[in-house]
Amino acid sequence: MTANRRRPAGRLVPRVLARAAELAVIAGVLAGAMALTVVGLAGTTARDAAETFNNLSVPTPTVLPSRSEILASDGSLIAYYYPGDIDRMPVSYQQIAPSMRHAIVAIEDYRYYHHGALDVQGTLRAMVTDVTGGPVQGGSTIAQQYVKNALLLTAEDSAEQRAAVADDLARKIRELRIAANVEHVLSLNQLLAAYLNAVYFANGAYGVQVAAQRYFGTTAAKLSLDQSALLAGLVQNPAGYDPVADPSAALRRRNVVLARMAQLHYISKPTATAAEQAPLGLHFSVPPLPQGCTSAASPTAAWFCDYAVAELRTNPAYRLAWRDLNTVGGLAIYTTMSRQDQAAAQHAVSFMVPAPPSSYNPGQNAAAEVLIQTGTGRVLAVAVDRPYGVQPGQDSIDYAVDSAQDGGAGVQTGSSSKLFTLITALEQRIPFGFTLSVSSPAVVGPYTNCRGQSVGAFHVVNDEGASRGTYTLYTGTTQSINVYFAELEQRVGLCNVVRTAVSMGVHRADGASLLAGVGRPGSPGYLPPADDVPSFTLGSVNVSPLTMAAAYATVAAGGVYCRPIAINKIIATGGHAMPVATARCHRVMSPAVAAAATYILRGVLTTGTASGDGVRRDGVYVPQAGKTGTANGFDFAAFGGYTPKLAGYVSMFNPAGPVAHPMVGDAACFRSAGGTADCPGSVFGANAGQIWQLTFSLAALGSPVGQFPAVPASSPYFRAGNGAKPARGAGGHDG
């Protein structure tokens, strides 16, 4: 039998005219048949019915639902996403075994390659029976069956599902009209493949590719003759011929198909006889759908996957993509995730702060980390130390990101937020050697908010308690002296410091601006604007590690802030690109200010609170800078750090309630990078820095790693010296 007769272009117009005439005949004869049961029907009925049929407004079947792929930046698979939990994997005509194509035509529509979409003879016979009181019959061509399955798969509600299978003549007419449209869009071979990709084969298998895998552990291209016949026989009655529920019925039906194939000369009778003797040969398996971020495809990437899906769900830029992801699917979603960086971050948090139960983490603390490529906003890694999921022992709160992106209530950042006071001071041209003599404890104030109102004084204590000393901008930062920064914040302006943070992308974990309050003043849970909170410089406002990573990336990028982005591109079915969010990179500080901040923050890793946490490559320290942070009472520990091309932020805390479960005593234990238990008694930002250090020792830092811009010797920042001379008085610790 001819496989697929391509029509020469020169015959297109006559064929279209012939088809139009054929449609008119069908409609007219249908009206005449209906007249048999309606006395006195006017003589113009046939003509009117033909016009009605030809002008019938019907939908064009849309793209059928199929799985989408969430991919890493290198194109490797992170996870599948199935719209409506429909497991369907379309394949092309050439990817379907010839025996399967022949078997389905033989048993379902043996004149398919002769009549195309419409079988006039069969349709008229069925419709006459229908309208004269008999049961609604088949007579459906493969084209009509495709339409029926397509309408079922794309039904948006139960009403549309009922209409697609309604046992009435109107449904038949509708199928005919849509089938006529489809046949003009697809070649016969394409239509046959589309049908085999849409039809249901029982046991949750939509389409021949999934059916081949589910019943025989093979692909549609490798189906044998007896396997093809079994699947083709299922289509007429998937429940009745289900080979799992009723093997005998399935076997009998398979042999009917084989006999029909021999009768139509697709195969010889001896071949059919031999195939009929074959056992059922099932290798049945129904693995759970590897749906979304809980799939085995993404064990080290689950938290990044969750972040990317949350971005698709919540970011208005992805409105169309989110709709398609949950309806038609078929998307290839290329994320920004770096395989190497994600593996490095996930390994570091999981190794050093193992998920409970673990003797290395008796306090059941958590760690979260985000890595961002500097100058692009591309989020390369999102890691949390907990296994991802909703089962016992798993967690589905992504502590690394904002609340709307499945995150929690955010984290306090401790002294890592001194970055914003430092940047503000540098913008006001305060030099490295700017000196303050401070004593602890102290009451510093008053401060002024952005509305010009006084917000009172601030009681502040250095981490080491009662002390006195003189510090420069350099040593006050590298030694993280709380009182020094409280006074510096007052000098440069609390409002200016908060605005600096806002310009670098920092906002509350719930997405609210730092310059706005949360709730109603005086009501329970009210949070004042950050410019009403003098302790802002000490990180007392909850934000997400993601926004802090973006802020540190801004300094690393020479003062250019980029909004974090999770998606590189989205390719829809048909190969067209869909809109994606952009990083909107823009300058928020001068390159000179950024270089000056890096100059000081490099000292944190050499002589400051994180000395010893530096990253080496080939035995040599790479250019790096950062800042430690420890919240009051050891409730949170943090580290923000960067190399020229990569920035990261780590937070450690107890998710059960940091204030009620501070990281002190036995609850301060974690595993060192060397594999031994480390129990410092209190968790400081430097300990979070050790996680950063392990991550960056394994991450892709760029090739070459690059260098930070130098601060010119003639810079006004050196007018009071380099600021690195030893401080007079007691040394400080991170606060």
**How far, in Å, CA of 372 to CA of 304, rounded?**
12
Top-confidence residue, 4 or 362: 362
Q: How far is CA 583 from CA 95, 489, 498, 569, 608, in A?
A: 40, 30, 22, 13, 33
Crossing angle of the two packed helices 418-427 and 494-503, in degrees rounded to 10: 100
Residue 246: pLDDT above 80? yes
Tell me, what's the pLDDT at 700? 94
11: pLDDT confidence band, cut at 50, 70 and 90? very low
Mean pLDDT of 460-471: 87
Residue 150 has a pLDDT of 83
For 60-63, the CB contacts below 8 A with 24+ separation are: 60/178, 60/181, 60/182, 61/146, 61/147, 61/150, 61/151, 61/154, 61/178, 61/182, 62/150, 62/154, 62/328, 63/328, 63/330, 63/573, 63/574
77-81 vs 68-71, strand pairing mode: antiparallel
State the pTM of this model.
0.80
pLDDT at residue 168 in the model: 64
State the average pLDDT over residues 704-717.
Answer: 94
Pairs from 132-139 (Cβ < 8 Å, separation ≥ 24): 132/33, 132/36, 132/37, 133/37, 136/167, 136/168, 136/169, 136/172
The pLDDT of residue 689 is 97
Q: Residue range 337-354: average pLDDT? A: 97
Helix (H, G, I), strand (E, B) or coil at 371: strand
What is the sign of the dihedral through the CA atoms of 673, 675, 676 and 678?
positive
The pLDDT tens digits for 97-143 are 999 999 999 999 999 988 755 665 666 565 555 555 554 444 478 98
In this structure, of 17-26, 245-254, 413-422, 700-709, the range with the lowest mean pLDDT score is 17-26
* Model confidence at 6: pLDDT above 50: no
Which of 428, 447, 419 is closest to 505 using CA atoms? 419
Question: Of the ranges 125-139, 523-537, 625-639, which one carries the lowest mean pLDDT score?
Answer: 125-139
Q: Which residue has the higher pLDDT, 30 or 404?
A: 404
| Lowest-pLDDT choice from 68-72, 292-296, 443-447, 704-708 | 292-296
Q: Domains of the chain by range and CATH?
A: 88-276 (1.10.3810.10)
Pick from 641, 731, 631: nearest CA to 683: 631
